[in-house]
């Protein structure tokens, strides 16, 4: 059996990736970041800063303002 494995396909992102500010969300186990998506307007949660992809497919860079308010999950 001689099978060939297909090469992985990579998708490049646009050069003009928006930067979105994040709000800290303190949960019982970890710190999460909440951002408002520039594409769909919904709130998305992420675990870290930097380049991220939202569930709706939008790429953006998450930044944290120095005076960002903290939310607490109930």
Is 80 exceeded by the pLDDT of residue 11? no
Render pLDDT for 35-66 as a digit per residue (tens, 0 to 9).
999 999 999 999 999 999 999 999 999 987 65
Average pLDDT over residues 23-28: 87
What are the extents of the domains in the chain? 19-66
Is 90 exceeded by the pLDDT of residue 9? no
Buried b (16+ CB within 10 A) or exposed e, 9-45: eeeeeeeeeeebebbebeeeeeebbebebeeeeeebe
> Which pair of tokens denotes residue 1?
């059996």
């Amino acid at each position: 059996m001689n099978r060939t494995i297909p090469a992985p396909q990579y998708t490049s992102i646009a050069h003009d990736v928006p930067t979105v500010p994040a709000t800290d969300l303190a949960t019982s186990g970890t710190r999460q970041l909440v951002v408002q998506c520039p594409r769909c307007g919904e709130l998305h949660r992420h675990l870290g800063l930097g380049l991220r992809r939202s569930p709706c497919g939008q790429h953006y860079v998450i930044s944290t303002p120095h005076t960002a308010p903290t939310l607490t999950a109930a």
